[in-house]
Amino acid sequence: MKKILLLLVLAPYWAFSQYQIGHTTLTFNDPTRNGGFGSGGGPGRQIQTEVYYPTYTAGENTPVATFPDFPVIVFGHGFAMGWDAYQNLWEHLVPQGYIMAFVRTEGSLIPAPSHGDFGQDLALVSTKMLALDAAVGSLFNGKVKQKSVIMGHSMGGGATMLAAANNANIAGIVGLAPAETNPSAIGVCANISVPALIFSGSSDGVTPPAEHHLPIYQGITSSCKSFVSITGGAHCYFANSNFNCDFGESTSSQGISITRAQQQQKTYAILDPWLQYVLGEDCFALNAFQSSLNTTTGTVNQTTCAASGMNATIYFDNMYTLWTTTPGIAYQWYVNGQIMQGETNDTLVIPVDFGGDFAVSVLAANGCDTSSFITIQGNISNLTMDYHWFYDKNL
């Protein structure tokens, strides 16, 4: 019996569990620079960071959830906005299985923030957060997947571009109404080659799209970049209500026609599968992301990202051996939707009379291919095709 199943398309296994939210404050340092915000990080510039992470018990410094390890999102705030204005983001994303690190430097009105330093801070925190996976005694020891995205709003979105330029240590970037900066965010976009997702509110008068968001998007050289224009959307609605941002918008933006909640809902509908693709190495989420670009009402979008292929093949014999000949750089086998720890080769030998739905996922150097699975009921039978995600912390 052959059939098409569309199970597990929209979310990887680690995203099925809705985690509680833990919080800790970390201060990193850069001995080559001065200033910053915070104390106790060591010599040089202090970079205080509020970190929210998946846990089984909500609270301060509670243990990080044990399985799996979690990718990192480093976030840059907008001009004169505190990290706490983005509670909507950490409450939405952390329960899905992401560690979020909110950098608190360059938050003052006077003296004016240094965009260049802020960009360097974002890049440094990304590197430091990944390194905590190997830090004995750290709350995050053994818990950090070696994948990170830098995301920012307004000034923080522009600083995200500065952080991403010529940076091979990040997996992607997200700009929420990104602003031009000094040094120029637009000017460095030619040096950004990682996947990029830019959000824009069409009624944003604080950073008008034609002067800020679109030139940034157009300048990025990544082969996978996307631009989302939310019709009637605002500059400040990507965050919770914040006096400084809302006041600035009240004097500049016109024609806002949706609510803050509606704008955030549209953002999440597109952001969620993009993050699953980039940080979860979920090839099927790439197709879900592209579908969301077409189906999220009230948005006008464009993308250069190619769809994943549908060419992966699985074979079997009568000796309980499964294998794939699809070329790849990483393989992962599953049974009944669960990852099979240690089964990361192109061949799987199944215990005799062990039944279940077996799947293999493949990541190729040139992109994604869909995978396939077979159902085994005590012996090889009933070939079934399916789409599955995979997760490999070593990628």
Q: In sequence order, what E strands does the chain have? A: 4-5, 20-30, 36-37, 45-55, 59-60, 70-76, 99-103, 144-153, 172-176, 196-201, 225-230, 299-303, 315-316, 321-323, 330-335, 338-339, 347-349, 356-364, 367-376, 380-386
Q: With 80 as the cut, is the pLDDT of residue 14 above it?
A: no
pLDDT attached to residue 334 = 72
Assess whether 297 and 324 both reside in one domain.
no
Assess whether 258 and 344 both reside in one domain.
no
pLDDT attached to residue 378 = 53
pLDDT attached to residue 15 = 36
Residue with the bigger pLDDT between 364 and 19: it is 19
Q: Enter the pTM of the model.
A: 0.84
Band (pLDDT 50/70/90 cuts) for residue 392 is: very low
Q: With 90 as the cut, is the pLDDT of residue 8 above it?
A: no
Q: With 70 as the cut, is the pLDDT of residue 347 above it?
A: yes
Q: With 90 as the cut, is the pLDDT of residue 389 above it?
A: no
Domain with 156 in it? 14-303
Assess whether 103 and 204 both reside in one domain.
yes
Q: With 70 as the cut, is the pLDDT of residue 390 above it?
A: no
Assess whether 229 and 114 both reside in one domain.
yes
Q: With 80 as the cut, is the pLDDT of residue 394 above it?
A: no
391 falls within a domain: no
Assess whether 104 and 146 both reside in one domain.
yes
Mean of pLDDT values over 127-150: 98
Q: Which amino acid belongs to residue 254? A: Q
Assess whether 239 and 365 both reside in one domain.
no
Tens digits of per-residue pLDDT, 292-340?
Answer: 999 999 999 999 998 776 666 788 887 778 888 888 766 767 777 665 6
**Who's near 277: CB < 8 A, 6+ residues apart?**
195, 283, 285, 286, 288, 289
Q: Are residues 385 and 313 in contact, defined by beta-carbon separation less than 8 angstroms?
A: no
Count other Cβ atoms within 10 Å, centred on residue 213: 27
Number of domains in the chain: 2
| DSSP category for residue 128 | H
pLDDT attached to residue 388 = 33
Mean pLDDT of the chain: 87
Mean of pLDDT values over 109-135: 98
pLDDT attached to residue 337 = 65
333 falls within a domain: yes
Tens digits of per-residue pLDDT, 147-203?
Answer: 999 999 999 999 999 999 999 999 999 999 999 999 999 999 999 999 999 999 999
Band (pLDDT 50/70/90 cuts) for residue 350 is: confident
Assess whether 286 and 331 both reside in one domain.
no
Domain boundary among the residues 249, 270, 303 is at: 303
Token couple for 158? 């522009």
Assess whether 194 and 283 both reside in one domain.
yes
Locus of tokens 């224009």: 229
pLDDT attached to residue 39 = 94
Assess whether 233 and 372 both reside in one domain.
no
1 falls within a domain: no
Mean of pLDDT values over 238-251: 97
Domain boundary among the residues 249, 279, 303 is at: 303
Mean of pLDDT values over 227-237: 99
For the chain, give the percent of residues with pLDDT over 70: 82
Assess whether 270 and 364 both reside in one domain.
no
What is the CATH classification number for the domain harbouring 367? 2.60.40.10
pLDDT attached to residue 115 = 99
Tens digits of per-residue pLDDT, 367-385?
Answer: 666 565 666 665 444 333 3
**Who's near 348: CB < 8 A, 6+ residues apart?**
321, 322, 323, 333, 340, 358, 360
Domain boundary among the residues 303, 328, 349 is at: 303
Assess whether 24 and 138 both reside in one domain.
yes
Residue with the bigger pLDDT between 159 and 343: it is 159
pLDDT attached to residue 95 = 96
Assess whether 167 and 251 both reside in one domain.
yes
Between the CA of residue 378 and those of 57, 240, 318, what are the distances in Å?
40, 54, 11
